[in-house]
Amino acid sequence: MLEAINLTKTYEDGLLALDHLTLKVEPGEIFCMFGANGAGKTTAINLFLNFIPPSEGTALIEGIDVVKEPLRSKDYLAFVSENVMLYANFTAFQNLDYFTKLAGKRGLTKVDYAKALKSVGLQDEAFEMRTKNFSKGMRQKLGLAIAVIKDAPNILLDEPTSGLDPKSGQEFLNLLIKMRNEGKSVFMSTHDIFRAKLIADRVGFMRKGKMVMMKTRKDLEGEDLTELYIQYMEEQPAAAGA
């Protein structure tokens, strides 16, 4: 489970990047966070990863405070970034092997790696290819394979579907659904409202560091998410409390 309690980040230049975010992503739930660039989505992820210290509040992963026990909290967390570059001179196997070892998993064989790579839809012939020859979609899949093999109960995804072709995007979503069904908490920041609508159990709208609206899948039934997105992304002081 991922939990933010009054999580706030003000940068040295005075910019309030995240304003008292409070949310909980339960096991078996996909939470999609929307927001324009600079709305605070990536800041929230960076706070969960303890890449930046919070100005106020707490980020918890499986109940572990990420500031107090940063290394332990990372045992329960997998991360997929917007543009997974990886080590270009390494093959998919080599990249997977390295990050698996960093995740503390030992004794896995090529068969295990092949299974993880297949599970994310990567073709067999790509396993021994250097990732410098990979398309963005292939790299994203490999990034997800790294998260899959880590088998952490919480997944953080920072705009993972941006730039993916429709087929790769759909495959990616299927994997997230599979992870949710396995009981993992999935937190995804995205601009991709169409895909998010297909899989999100809850969505949140961020504006200027503040969560301005949160809706469940049920709330969204019959709603035009695009219209909502535009409505909440625009400057609307009245909507801030919604």
Partner 1 sequence: MLKDIIKKEIIETITSAKFVFTFLLCAVLILLSVYTGLSNYSSDRKEYSAAVALNKKNLESQPSYTALASLGTKINRSPQVLSAIASGVNEAVGRVASVNIAYDPNLIDSKYEANPVFSVFGALDLTYIVKIVLSLFAILFTYDAIVGEKEKGTLKLTLSNKVPRDRLILGKVIGGFISLLIPLVIPLILSLLLILVYPSTSFAGEDWIRLLLMFFMFFLYLSVFFTLGLLVSARTSKSSTSFLILLFIWVTFVTIIPKVAVVGAARLNPIPSVHEITAKKDAFLQQIQGSVQKKVLDWVKENSPKPGEDQKAFQEKFKKWLEDFQQESTSQIDANNAALERDYQLKKNAQVRLAINFSRISPASALMFSTMSLSRTGLDEHERFLAAVRAYKPIFTKWANAKMMRNINFQTGETGSKVVLDDMPQMTFDSETIGKSFARTLPDFGLMLFLIIVFFAGAYVSFLKYDVR
Report the residue number, 122 or 213, with the smaller CB distance to partner 1. Answer: 122
Candidates 17, 7, 150, 165; CA nearest to 79 is 150
Report the residue number, 98 or 127, with the smaller CB distance to partner 1. Answer: 98
Rounded least distance, CB 221 to partner 1, Å: 35
Contact residues: partner 1, CB under 8 A? 42, 46, 49, 51-52, 71-72, 74-75, 77-79, 81-90, 94, 98-99, 101-104, 143, 146, 150, 156
Rounded least distance, CB 75 to partner 1, Å: 6
Rounded least distance, CB 156 to partner 1, Å: 8
Instruction: List Cβ neighbours of 44 (8 Å cut-off, separation of 6 or more).
Output: 4, 7, 18, 21, 33, 189, 206
Report the residue number, 62 or 82, with the smaller CB distance to partner 1. Answer: 82
Rounded least distance, CB 104 to partner 1, Å: 6
Q: Which two tokens stand for residue 51?
A: 């890449």
187 in Cβ contact with 33 (< 8 Å)? yes
191 in Cβ contact with 34 (< 8 Å)? yes
Rounded least distance, CB 141 to partner 1, Å: 14
Report the residue number, 74 or 180, with the smaller CB distance to partner 1. Answer: 74
Report the residue number, 8 or 42, with the smaller CB distance to partner 1. Answer: 42
Report the alpha-carbon distance of residue 152 to residue 185 in Å, rounded.
9
Q: What is the DSSP letter of 240?
A: G
Rounded least distance, CB 126 to partner 1, Å: 18
132 in Cβ contact with 90 (< 8 Å)? no
Rounded least distance, CB 41 to partner 1, Å: 13
Q: What is the DSSP letter of 8?
A: E
Report the residue number, 68 or 167, with the smaller CB distance to partner 1. Answer: 68
What is the DSSP code string of 186-221?
A: EEEE-S-HHHHHHH-SEEEEEETTEEEEEEEHHHHT
Report the residue number, 47 or 213, with the smaller CB distance to partner 1. Answer: 47
Candidates 179, 241, 236; CA nearest to 214 is 241
